[in-house]
A and B are shown apart, each in its own frame.
Chain A
Amino acid sequence: MDLTDLIITVVKTAVIYIGMIQVVPLMLIVERRGAALIQDRPGPNRVGPFGLFQPIADVIKMMMKEVIIPSQVNKALYLLGPSLVLLPASLVIAALPFGDFFSVFNKPYLLQVANIDVGILYVLAIGSLGIYGILFGGWASNNKFSLMGAMRATSQIISYEIPLGLAACSAVLWYGSFSLREMVVTQEGTLWGVIPNWGVFCQPLGFLLFFIAAFAETNRLPFDLPETEAELVAGFHTEYGPMDFGTFFMAEYMNMATMSGLMVAMYFGGWHLPWIADATLLQWLGSRNILAILQVVTVVTKMAFFMVVYVWVRWTIPRFRFDQLMRLAWKNLIPLGLFNIVLTAVILYLKGAA
């Protein structure tokens, strides 16, 4: 790896990371306007044209507010909490493929931070580290609401990790690879010449499990039990000031974006357009780099769809009760996940035998 490579890698990483951070202000406005749309009210529409500058105003407000470190907290862990949630949320985006590759000076560079060959395991492993931040923050706050919120968050996230892992496992079984890039490459073409060869058609049950578990992993409604405002004030971040809350919020939205990215890569064909092969597109467009831009647009559009679904579901489905949530994970999703693995294995065996 020479200097040009290093510079391009650093710039690429920075662009992808900054791009993923932009999800936060974008989602802030989409979420609030989306909620308003569903609830039939105008929503924030005063700052800038159509209220588009609302996120900027929100961020400025958060930053200018007073920083309060309550007297009863365990200071080191309390201060560490938000950063410990944000760090894993930032790191998991490394495995997401945004496109095939682009070329600079006739040298190919992958449209991905790092082509990790154990991609999906990396995401599961790093993603679950975020619990530590929540647990540290909640416990160190020395507040009963925070403690309960943190306990709930932890047990919810670890419980839904298992269906998530099992769904990912059947995807690994189907594609025969851990690498998200490999999975996307395998999804090119069509199934029986009619429908796109996407994971969602080959692994419908796996996708459903992954989709449900993704909501629980990111603490979104209908599974936002850690922050039920009616029972726990604000859950694990009750004692945190505005910008710390902002950091938790940022981590939540980045996790949502990562989960959407994973669903796109594993089940919705990543950068592939349905029914059009990459080689054909390259012929039409004539240039690798234009194709790369098109691929990034495709992936981002698919991710944006899932982000809107998150908002849509949030304002449509009421919240679960905590024991219902646990029962859903252990009694329904885990047996279904195991069943899905057996089903996939048997189908693969029959396909191989035929």
Chain B
Amino acid sequence: MEAFLPVGILFILAIIISAGLFTVKRLLGPRNPVPAKLAVYECGVTPESSARIPFQTGFYLIAVLFLLFDVEAAFFFPWALVYKESLAEGPALLIAMLIYMALLVLGLVYIFRKDCLKLN
């Protein structure tokens, strides 16, 4: 736990810097709000509609795929850590990983075949 104490110190420093930036710009900058200045920016044209619009499902799909693959990739890390020490006990871990990897590649191929990554 003591190893993370400096991280706590760094966190406090980072908060101070962020809060400082936040305050300084408010203290130094002038304020002169007029409606036209505060309007939404759409290249100078009057905004057509709200920006709370539905977005492409492609982005959602990428998020779902990321979740799957990142969790799967996370399983590699503990394996990678113990792999070197287990080398003396034969290729059991290597083979286990290869099977797992094959399943992962199968999933990847499935994504490509289904064309899940097509945006637009």
Chain A interface (Cβ within 8 Å of chain B)? 1, 9-10, 12-14, 17, 21, 62-72, 79, 82-83, 86-87, 90-91, 93-94, 113-117, 121, 141-148, 151, 154-155, 158-159, 161-162, 165-166, 169-170, 172-173, 176-178, 233, 238-239, 241-244, 246-247, 322-323, 326-327, 330-331, 334-335, 338, 341-342, 345-346, 348-349, 352-353
Given contacts A91-B14, A323-B119, contact A66 B32 (CB under 8 A): yes
B53 nearest CB across to chain A (Å): 7
The answer to whether B18 and A86 have CB atoms under 8 Å apart is: yes
20 contacts between A and B (CB under 8 A): A17-B14, A63-B25, A83-B18, A90-B10, A116-B7, A142-B52, A143-B42, A144-B42, A147-B55, A154-B59, A158-B63, A161-B70, A162-B70, A172-B77, A173-B84, A178-B77, A322-B119, A341-B76, A342-B98, A349-B87
Q: Which chain B residues lie closer than 8 Å to A165 at the CB level?
A: 70, 73-74
Given contacts A143-B40, A144-B51, A323-B118, contact A335 B29 (CB under 8 A): no
Given contacts A64-B29, A166-B76, A169-B77, contact A142 B21 (CB under 8 A): no
Given contacts A113-B7, A117-B3, A162-B73, contact A151 B59 (CB under 8 A): yes
The answer to whether B13 and A158 have CB atoms under 8 Å apart is: no
The answer to whether B3 and A116 have CB atoms under 8 Å apart is: yes
A166 nearest CB across to chain B (Å): 6
Interface of A: prevailing SS: helix
Q: Which chain B residues lie closer than 8 Å to A86 at the CB level?
A: 14, 17-18, 21
Chain B interface (Cβ within 8 Å of chain A)? 2-7, 9-11, 13-15, 17-19, 21-22, 24-26, 28-33, 35, 37-43, 50-53, 55-56, 59, 62-63, 65-66, 69-70, 73-74, 76-77, 80-81, 83-85, 87-88, 91, 94, 97-98, 101, 104-105, 108, 111-112, 117-120
The answer to whether B35 and A71 have CB atoms under 8 Å apart is: yes
Contacts between the two chains (Cβ within 8 Å), count: 212
Q: Which chain B residues lie closer than 8 Å to A17 at the CB level?
A: 10, 13-14, 17
Q: Closest chain B residue to A352 by CB distance?
A: B87
The answer to whether B51 and A142 have CB atoms under 8 Å apart is: yes
- CA distance in complex: A248, B35 (Å): 26
Q: Which chain A residues lie closer than 8 Å to B70 at the CB level?
A: 158, 161-162, 165
- CA distance in complex: A144, B42 (Å): 8
Given contacts A86-B18, A159-B62, A161-B66, contact A338 B104 (CB under 8 A): yes
Q: Which chain B residues lie closer than 8 Å to A145 at the CB level?
A: 41-42
A252 nearest CB across to chain B (Å): 15
The answer to whether A13 and B51 have CB atoms under 8 Å apart is: no
Contact partner of B25 (CB less than 8 A), chosen from A9, A67, A151, A170, is A67
Given contacts A66-B31, A116-B3, A331-B112, contact A341 B101 (CB under 8 A): yes
- CA distance in complex: A70, B19 (Å): 21
Q: Closest chain A residue to B38 by CB distance?
A: A71
Specify which of B2, B32, B77, B104 lies most central, judged by the most chain A CB atoms within 10 Å of its CB. B77
The answer to whether A1 and B6 have CB atoms under 8 Å apart is: no
- CA distance in complex: A148, B66 (Å): 19
Q: Which chain A residues lie closer than 8 Å to B35 at the CB level?
A: 71
B109 nearest CB across to chain A (Å): 9
B113 nearest CB across to chain A (Å): 12
Q: Closest chain B residue to A158 by CB distance?
A: B66
Contact partner of A345 (CB less than 8 A), chosen from B37, B94, B108, is B94
- CA distance in complex: A233, B108 (Å): 34
Known: A13-B13, A116-B7, A170-B80. 18 other contacts (CB 8 A): A13-B6, A17-B14, A63-B24, A67-B29, A79-B22, A90-B18, A113-B6, A114-B7, A147-B51, A154-B63, A159-B62, A166-B73, A238-B41, A243-B29, A322-B119, A323-B117, A338-B105, A349-B87
